[in-house]
Structure 1
Amino acid sequence: MTGICTGRVAVVTGAGRGLGRAHALALAAEGARVVVNDLGTAIDGTGGATEPAERVVEEIRALGGEAVAHGGDIATTDGAASLVATALDAFGRLDTVVNNAGFLRDRMLVNLDEDDWDAVMRVHLKGHFLPLKHAAEYWRAEAKAGRTPQARVVNTSSGAGLLGSVGQGNYSAAKAGIVGLTLVAAAELGRYGVQVNAVAPAARTRMTEQTFAGAMAAPGEGRFDALAPENVSPLVVWLSSASCAGVSGRVFEAEGGRITVMEGWRPGPAVDKGARWSPAAAGEAALELLAAAATPQPVYGAR
């Protein structure tokens, strides 16, 4: 270990299991003091328990690190505010927020209930916005007091948010929204010493049991496990550290040993008539432009 996060304080949401747990452990291994947030809910967001977060805290302490648990609902103002307050009370500072919490309620659009839409939007999109907002308020105050931080935010999007995923209209929309939020936050908060990036991970977790059905089991001893959540964490740790200075407003895919810089919407072929189009002429022009444009990547699950 290089200790690239030594002296830093990080909060990780949804850190009781899966990717969040891997991130929390990896941050601690690199010297960060960690606030482990988790509600301990089921995969659909129901129920709740404190044990998952507390177990991760115990793991970190057993390895010689420092950590505290936080069981608040970060999709509420009070929960997000208390997350930041927990870091400040326990460790006296906050340097990094890793927004990772989420759950699934998958349905085809015609079967998707309003409650399922709202619940997924709430935990993913609102659950990113509120911790980011409250952390940013702290960092802005620090910057205005002459103590400009080297602050970092790592948001969690998904391939579903970048390309879409059949049966996951709510999840795809929320994860696409996280990309938009990342871009705006990076532009707005840079003046306060805050860098904001996003990762779109692929790994074996409770949430991906159906996606990776047939490939969920870890390979035999000594073989590289391409779906291990721990494969994503090194990039998250680097983005959480001061070492990534100058990197902001970017989205990375991470899976196995592969890291990809994702390139979002950019202007493609265009034509300017200099006057108003008729519908028929606009259609002809659109078809010509589409013929010259790159073929889009397919939606996950599309046939």
Structure 2
Amino acid sequence: MQNATSVPQFHFIQLSEDPDQQTVLFGLFLFMYILALFGNLLIILTVSSDSHLHTPMYFFLSNLSMVDIGFISTTVPRLIVDIQTHCPVISYVGCLTQMSLFIIFACMDSMLLAVMAYDRFVAICHPLYYQIIMNPSHCGVLLLGSFILSLVELLLLYVAVLKFFNCENFFEISNFFCDPSELLKLACFDTFTKSILKYCVGALFGLLPVSGIIFSYFKIVSSIMGSSSSSGKHKTISTCGSHLSIVCLFYGTGLGVYFSSSLSHSPRSNAVASLMYTVVTPMLNPFIYSLRNKDIKTALRKILSRVF
């Protein structure tokens, strides 16, 4: 008898088992991935090339676009390969790597939305002190703090998923990627410990940034209601409209996935619902900002005039 250590593997659920739909899904996700890369890279190029956009608001927007590129690149390329090879299996190390990148980028996305809400709050409620408060060093600290909180959330989940070695050697995940919530269900912990970890992760990922966003917009709405200028109200609403659209899209799709997983017992339905915030949201974010923001559209026209 020889002692052998077996490494666990993870099997993803397939979005469709119909062979005729595999080609359609392959082309669809490849198109969505390219579109997301193009849109977010265009936002980064536009902000970096136009000096008028070198402000805290667009600094955070360009970083949000970089995070969205990483966010969608964590799941979609692997999904495209799985559709093409018909082998949705990933190793233990590969699953940990994908989960780690997913957590970092998803949490960074959430934190940056809260930071952008704070930026709008300072700009609207304290315009005279805006340049002092949102100085470059303060913006760097906010960005670094978002990254550190993402790492803290990652470490919390690592406490759970590293216990897989004490369990079985083959796991089936009810999603098309290494979803942290699915991995937490499979972890070798008792129900109470899983609940504690779930609440801690939920507080960092959802409660903290959402509370910041609600507080910021509560102050903004109070400032708008106290203003007598209709033009000022319209300018404030147009300034915050793009950010609010992205916030509603990101958290709305996230809540949709949560409720669909609670109400539906179909793993494939949960996987399809997860596509909304892992693929559709980072794909639409740059287009929401470019279509609703006058400064971005003006800068884009300048870039296109130089090229053509």
TM-score, normalised on structure 2?
Answer: 0.26
Higher RCO (C-alpha 8 Å, min separation 6): 2
Higher strand share: 1
TM-score, normalised on structure 1?
Answer: 0.26
